[in-house]
Structure 1
Amino acid sequence: MSTGLEITGLATGYRKRAVVQGVTLPVLKAGGVYSLIGPNAAGKSTLLRALAGLQPATGSVTLDGTELMGKPLADWARRVTYMPQTLPQGVSLNVLESVISALRASPMEGLNSSEAIKQHAVDVLERVGIIELAMRNLGHLSGGQRQLVSLAQVLARNPQVLLLDEPISALDLKHQFRVMRLVQELARERQMIVMVVLHDLSIAARWSDGIVMLAQGRVVASGTPGQAITPASLAEVYGVQARIEYCDRGQMQVMIDDEAMA
């Protein structure tokens, strides 16, 4: 049984500049979606990269009782998958080939033949809703389409922990909804732990089991959406006067009235 992801005293930065400072969080549980929110330059992307083993860091990152800090990157990659904000440019593959390449780079149990790998890739593209793009070259896709392909690549590897850096930033409203619903469904079905960087606080509140609010590399608030997203935390972190209201379906709405008083 999964004991979740434990993050204790995590710190990282670039050269001599500290970016993330002593981050400690409550246990992130399997099957849960956790949103990482905060203003620009708060350290959100840097924290995700550290949790993926891609950024040198100190502290402790424990998954199901196994300490990941200090382990080779290959050990991290078998458990934790990271989706960056954008796909690399200049890759001359079609969409299906790119998902197959991601699977070959991090092999999964049970996919022992080229045909099985290809079928799994097709199944993932269908689940994400982009099977019609399978034969399209990555270089010919829009920004939103590239984000969906990147999501398919990481989902195909069926990780224990899925880290998504602004996965809906280039998507229209329908596809934002589709992606967030899919992420929540897969977290529940596969008992994954998902941490996602989002800027839209109402979307974060709707789809998240937990919220982590960062400012200047430190955790300012964490907990359920109702516990973390408050007028006080929004004033402190974002510098705004805000109201929290709920629609007739019980969904949180964040209303900004003015800048916070200095």
Structure 2
Amino acid sequence: MTDALAISGLTAGYGRRVVVNRLDLAPVSPGTVLSLLGPNAAGKTTLLRALAGLHPATGSVRLGERGLLSLSLADHARLVTYMPQSLPQRVALTVLEGVIGAMRASAPGGQLVPERDVADRALSVIERVGIGHLAMTELSHLSGGQRQLASLAQALVRQPRVLLLDEPISALDLYYQLRVMKLVRELAAESRMIVVMVLHDLAIAVRWSDRVVLLADGRLIADGTPQDAITAAALADVYKVAARVDITPDGVRIAIDDIL
């Protein structure tokens, strides 16, 4: 599997507190949309930040033949892009300027791109995300959901091999939740990009993910297709709830009955 993402023995934490403990995952092949599920403090965001090279970690993270943990931050960022839960609050840039800045930051050193091409590409991504009407609006004037969409545009314009999304739809209404999830699936298929995202909504994860990973206390509980990984036993272990999980021709149906 050329350029598959392979994680072995990954450990990360804060001081003496281990948050992700010797995590092993089967290789994630190009074009895969993988969702990380689990309760708060399960280690999902720490894992994403470690994969992004933004948090110290030990173990092995490889993209094809490249060991990501040994790369410089600049070289790492050309392959892997991380979208946090929210942009900084006070940024004196328009949406367009923010996307252009992200694109220039990811360009190989010394590469010159004509100004018209830069603007055209940035606007194309902004339009595809669905916020073309906000291109000239300052980031500081956007709502939380609009800022999330602007952050997604900044991530996508970098054209990474691995896209890491931390709760990318948490502040969005239903229309934009659907739009973002459809866009992520389309881009993964078109460019063979690997997408790893943190989600809290099980129904959305089931519908839009090729693969799901359930975490609890930094340990792996389940890993596989939504149909294989999301079981009543796994939900009881991870979320401490009694649930009924039915496999249907349309996918997986989940009914939460009670807490344990």
Q: TM-score range by the shorter chain?
A: over 0.9
1:184-195 maps to which residues of 2 (within 5 A)?
184-195=185-196
Could you say which residue in structure 1 is the equivalent of 2:97? 97
Partner AA of 1:49 in structure 2? R
Shift in Å, 1:237 = 0.7
Shift in Å, 1:253 = 2.4
Residues 156-212 of structure 1: per-residue CA shift (max 9 Å, x gap)? 000000000000000111111110010000000010000010000110011111001
Q: Give the Cα–Cα distance (whole angstroms) in 2 for the partners of residues 154 and 108 of structure 1.
A: 16
Matched residues, number: 259
Do residues 174 (structure 1) and 175 (structure 2) align? yes
- Superposition misfits of 4+ residues, deviation over 2 angstroms: 108-111
Residues 17-57 of structure 1: per-residue CA shift (max 9 Å, x gap)? 11100111011010010000000010100000000000000
SS in 1 for 2:89: coil
Could you say which residue in structure 1 is the equivalent of 2:139? 138
User: Which structure 2 residue ranges, 5 or more long, are not aligned?
Assistant: none
* Contact map agreement 1:162 1:192 (CA 8 A) in 2: yes
1:208-223 maps to which residues of 2 (within 5 A)?
208-223=209-224
Could you say which residue in structure 2 is the equivalent of 1:205? 206
Pick closer, same or farther for the CA change 1:15–1:29 going to 2, 3 Å.
same
Q: Give the Cα–Cα distance (whole angstroms) in 2 for the partners of residues 176 and 212 of structure 1.
A: 21
* Contact map agreement 2:227 2:247 (CA 8 A) in 1: no
* Contact map agreement 2:49 2:55 (CA 8 A) in 1: yes
* Contact map agreement 1:124 1:152 (CA 8 A) in 2: yes
The share of aligned pairs that are identical, in percent, is: 59
Could you say which residue in structure 1 is the equivalent of 2:30? 30
* Contact map agreement 1:34 1:212 (CA 8 A) in 2: yes
Q: Give the Cα–Cα distance (whole angstroms) in 2 for the partners of residues 119 and 200 of structure 1.
A: 35
User: Which structure 1 residue ranges, 5 or more long, are not aligned?
Assistant: none
Partner AA of 2:31 in structure 1? G
Could you say which residue in structure 2 is the equivalent of 1:57? 57
Q: Give the Cα–Cα distance (whole angstroms) in 2 for the partners of residues 177 and 190 of structure 1.
A: 20
Could you say which residue in structure 2 is the equivalent of 1:14? 14
Once the two structures are overlaid, the 10-residue window that deviates more, 159-168 or 16-25, is: 16-25
Shift in Å, 1:111 = 6.3
Partner AA of 2:135 in structure 1? A
Do residues 253 (structure 1) and 253 (structure 2) align? yes
Q: Give the Cα–Cα distance (whole angstroms) in 1 for the partners of residues 236 and 45 of structure 2.
A: 22
Pick closer, same or farther for the CA change 1:36–1:50 going to 2, 3 Å.
same
SS in 2 for 1:90: coil
Q: Give the Cα–Cα distance (whole angstroms) in 2 for the partners of residues 188 and 9 of structure 1.
A: 29
Shift in Å, 1:251 = 3.1
Once the two structures are overlaid, the 10-residue window that deviates more, 62-71 or 185-194, is: 62-71
* Contact map agreement 1:84 1:165 (CA 8 A) in 2: yes
Could you say which residue in structure 2 is the equivalent of 1:123? 124
Partner AA of 1:133 in structure 2? L
SS in 2 for 1:125: helix
Once the two structures are overlaid, the 10-residue window that deviates more, 99-108 or 199-208, is: 99-108
* Contact map agreement 1:108 1:157 (CA 8 A) in 2: no
Could you say which residue in structure 1 is the equivalent of 2:86? 86
Shift in Å, 1:245 = 3.0
* Contact map agreement 2:102 2:158 (CA 8 A) in 1: yes
Structure 1 vs Structure 2 CA RMSD: 1.4
Shift in Å, 1:108 = 5.9
Partner AA of 2:202 in structure 1? L
Q: TM-score, with normalisation over the residues of structure 1? A: 0.96
